[in-house]
Amino acid sequence: MATTASETNLDRDRLELALQSARLGEYEWDLVRDIFCVSARMAAVTGLPVGDWPAGGGELLYSGLHPEDRESTRRTMEESMRATGRFETEYRRIRDDDGRTVWMRSSGLLVRDADGRAIKVCGVVQDVSDRHLEEERRRTLMSELDHRVKNVLATVQALAFQTAKRTTSLDSFLATFAGRLKAMGSANELLTAARWRGAAIGHLAAAELGGLAPHQTRWDGPELFLTPRAANALSLALHELATNAVKFGALSTETGRVDLRWSRIADGGFELFWTESGGPSVTPPIRKGFGSTLLAQVTGRELNGETEVEYRRGGVRVRLRASAAAVVERPEQVPEAPVRQAVETVSHPTGPTDLTGARVLIVEDAVLLALELETGLADAGAEVIGPAYELSEAMALLDQQIDAAVLDANLNGLSVTPVAEALAARGIPFVFATGYGDSAGAPLGFDAPIIRKPYDVTQVAAAVAAVLHAL
């Protein structure tokens, strides 16, 4: 059946549309005349001028390739055409019009005449720079993530070592170390919400002081955002000051107050004052602990400034000065409010917890955390069901007798919501033990206590006991 002119035109229109949609540029290399035909789309993609040009045995095509890719690309194309009559390759090209280096993907087909003689090469090119840029960004992000994780692990190791050197009992070590991890976690959550671009001093202060003594603490100052390094340092410093104030200082009495104020200084940095009043009479400590060392050395260095601590009789006063290097511009994304006290709804227990006879389901995908939970709940007298590390494992355990459950919010990328819904339908209480904040996908539609990681297992046990006793 003969092909009509209208059908030919339709096929041509379809080809044009396909090339345009895919942002492809077509070309033809006449091997007999050694002429390279550059189409308008090919010119737009490569920067070559439109028209028919002497190919120079292929030099017109290869000369624009990046020097590091030129010979390998030529070899790949020529060997592939000899072997299969076609080729497909990617390379960098330096555009002829503006000198930009772009990534190109090129495919071609060798056309032969009736006698088998190669007469031309027909092909298409595509600018794939965006994909290579995205791959490079992904590699950079993974490298940065690896760097940050190693830094966090090293910091945690150092905190553990320094805390252990300055505590005299296991209970004291666990309580102190857990508090410091909480401070780090709070700062990191704020940084994550701002895509690791910075954290506001006001948010750091609220996260550390907001839940301690709402009517005895206040903080005020301009909106200033700190680098991740400075934010972590200040968060730890505020935690140490708050801990000491609760144990020995102004917050150890109902009449004491803590006032935290900061202001920007002329060089672009800031100055922060922590002032305690109304508490017990203060005397300088006989022995300096890790908190004092952190304030005196680490905080000042990490903030490129200095720290002064005064043990006034009426209350401790701390002046912290930081340079402009610790301050960053306001990030594009900033959390609306601190997340630590808003999310964590369970306080630390004041005594041992008794879970004797309670059958408690543990759903946690991190093996070490699950083992820690299992040990802690068993020590409190509970009969542990699980642990379940996957959503399917948790669902399979629901037909057993369960008195309460501890649920991680996310199990290897899957929401724990189906388990929570099934438990709620049966009237079984549960506690969320999660690393997610209020806006990060935790299943907060349920009326259940929430404990943020890193947590103290005794806190989880106390929360389980509380929901059981509430029945």
Domain that holds residue 286: 141-337
The model's pTM is: 0.49
Asked if residue 400 is part of any domain, the answer here is yes
Cα(297)–Cα(257) distance, integer angstroms: 26
Q: What is the DSSP letter of 287?
A: S
How much is the pLDDT for 92?
92
How much is the pLDDT for 319?
93
Q: Of the candidates 18, 52, 45, 27, which has an alpha carbon nearest to the alpha carbon of residue 120? A: 27
Q: In a 10 Å sphere around its CB, with 0-12 CB exposed, 13-18 middle and 19+ buried, how is residue 176 labelled?
A: buried
Give yes or no: residues 32 and 119 share one domain. Answer: yes
Torsion of CA 452, 456, 457, 459, to 10 degrees: -80
Asked if residue 300 is part of any domain, the answer here is yes
Asked if residue 4 is part of any domain, the answer here is no
Helices and strands (DSSP H and E) totals, the chain = 15, 21
Asked if residue 179 is part of any domain, the answer here is yes
CATH of the domain at 195: 3.30.565.10
Give yes or no: residues 120 and 180 share one domain. Answer: no
Asked if residue 17 is part of any domain, the answer here is no
How much is the pLDDT for 317?
94
Give yes or no: residues 326 and 368 share one domain. Answer: no
Which residues in the chain come in under a pLDDT of 70? Answer: 1-23, 140-141, 143-159, 162-163, 165-166, 176, 179-180, 183-196, 211-214, 288-291, 298, 333-351, 435-444, 471
Q: pLDDT by residue (tens digit) across 222-278?
A: 999 998 888 888 888 888 888 888 888 898 888 899 999 999 999 999 999 999 999
Q: Of the candidates 25, 2, 215, 5, which has an alpha carbon nearest to the alpha carbon of residue 124? A: 25
Q: Of the candidates 99, 108, 98, 101, which has an alpha carbon nearest to the alpha carbon of residue 127? A: 101
How much is the pLDDT for 177?
74
How much is the pLDDT for 415?
86
Of 98, 127, 156, the last residue of a domain is 127
Of 127, 162, 191, the last residue of a domain is 127
How much is the pLDDT for 153?
65
How much is the pLDDT for 26?
87
How much is the pLDDT for 277?
94
Give yes or no: residues 99 and 62 share one domain. Answer: yes
Cα(461)–Cα(381) distance, integer angstroms: 10
Overall number of domains in the chain: 3
Q: Distance from CA of residue 123 to its chain's centroid?
A: 43
Q: pLDDT by residue (tens digit) across 267-322?
A: 999 999 999 999 999 888 877 666 677 777 767 778 888 888 899 999 999 999 99
Give yes or no: residues 367 and 324 share one domain. Answer: no
Asked if residue 12 is part of any domain, the answer here is no
Hey, what are 289's tokens? 């602990």
Q: How many residues in total does the chain contain?
A: 471
With b meaning 16 or more CB within 10 Å and e meaning fewer, what string describes 72-103?
ebbebbeebbeeeeebebebbbbbeeeeeebb
Q: Of the candidates 317, 344, 325, 314, which has an alpha carbon nearest to the alpha carbon of residue 267? A: 325
